[in-house]
Amino acid sequence: MTAARTPPPAAPAAPAAPAAPAAGGPRPGLRERKKTKTRTAIREATYGLIREQGYDATTIEQIAARAEVSPSTVLRYFPAKEDIVLTDEYAPILLTELRARPAGEPWLDSLRHAFRTGIALGASEDPEATRLRTRLMVEVPAVRTRMTENMSGTGRLLCQVIGERTGRAPDAFEVRVAAMSLVGALTETTLYWAEHGHEDDLGVLVDRALDVLDQGLAQGKP
């Protein structure tokens, strides 16, 4: 049985949304910059503590102390410790990249471009944090459970983008199946990468996953 394919357009593709501001565009406001700085401090504190003493031994109080914020501030930004590990800044970037692609571009090509951009960004900014996060997804049951719970939210965001590109309603059956097929494929790609010690090229694995979604399983191959 072949994997689910991205549905063909049911109507002329909607115009692509404007791209995010360029590097030289308007900067975020002071309030948003402060929020970003706080989120980053909390994440860095969490990663440092986990590296030193492990995930289970790391508490919200310890994270708050190292990030120099209150425990209530940590929980205001991240409702649970698992969310600190799982939440990053890349999902909005990926959605912006998808919306910025040419309206007539094949959907698979748009996906490859967006995911390559996200992978390159993660590799250039903090590759060790990315490896730690994905390792925790494999090793810590609570993190994997939370990841599964969050998949529906990611799927809903993708439904919006797919709906815009295909002229379908975001809650249409085919759109929902396509979005969650993609979320599942990327989740399994990430887990496979971590389970195999991050030895493979993540970009190559993502390309292989997209090929499976597009073409199904090739006959006669292991």
Summarize pLDDT for 189-221 with one digit per residue, the tens.
999 999 999 999 999 999 999 999 999 887 766
Helices 107-125/202-215 angle, 10° precision: 160
d(CA 134, CA 212): 22
Cβ atoms of 53 and 47 within 8 Å: the answer is no
Amino acid code (one letter) for 204: V
d(CA 222, CA 97): 34
User: What is the pLDDT confidence band of residue 32, given thresholds at 50, 70 and 90?
Assistant: confident
Cβ atoms of 100 and 18 within 8 Å: the answer is yes
- Among residues 122, 151, 140, the alpha carbon closest in space to that of 85 is found at 140
Cβ atoms of 11 and 220 within 8 Å: the answer is no
| Per-residue pLDDT at 220 | 61
d(CA 28, CA 120): 23
Cβ atoms of 84 and 42 within 8 Å: the answer is yes
| Per-residue pLDDT at 211 | 93
Three-state DSSP state, 39: helix
Average pLDDT value for residue range 59-85: 96
pTM: 0.77
User: What is the pLDDT confidence band of residue 23, given thresholds at 50, 70 and 90?
Assistant: very low
| Per-residue pLDDT at 89 | 66
26: left (phi over 0), alpha (psi -120 to 50) or beta: beta
Take residue 148 and report the two structure tokens written for it: 């599964």
User: What is the pLDDT confidence band of residue 117, given thresholds at 50, 70 and 90?
Assistant: confident
Helices 30-53/127-139 angle, 10° precision: 60
Determine the number of helices (DSSP H) and then strands (DSSP E) in the chain: 10, 0
Lowest-pLDDT range, 65-74, 82-91, 207-216? 82-91
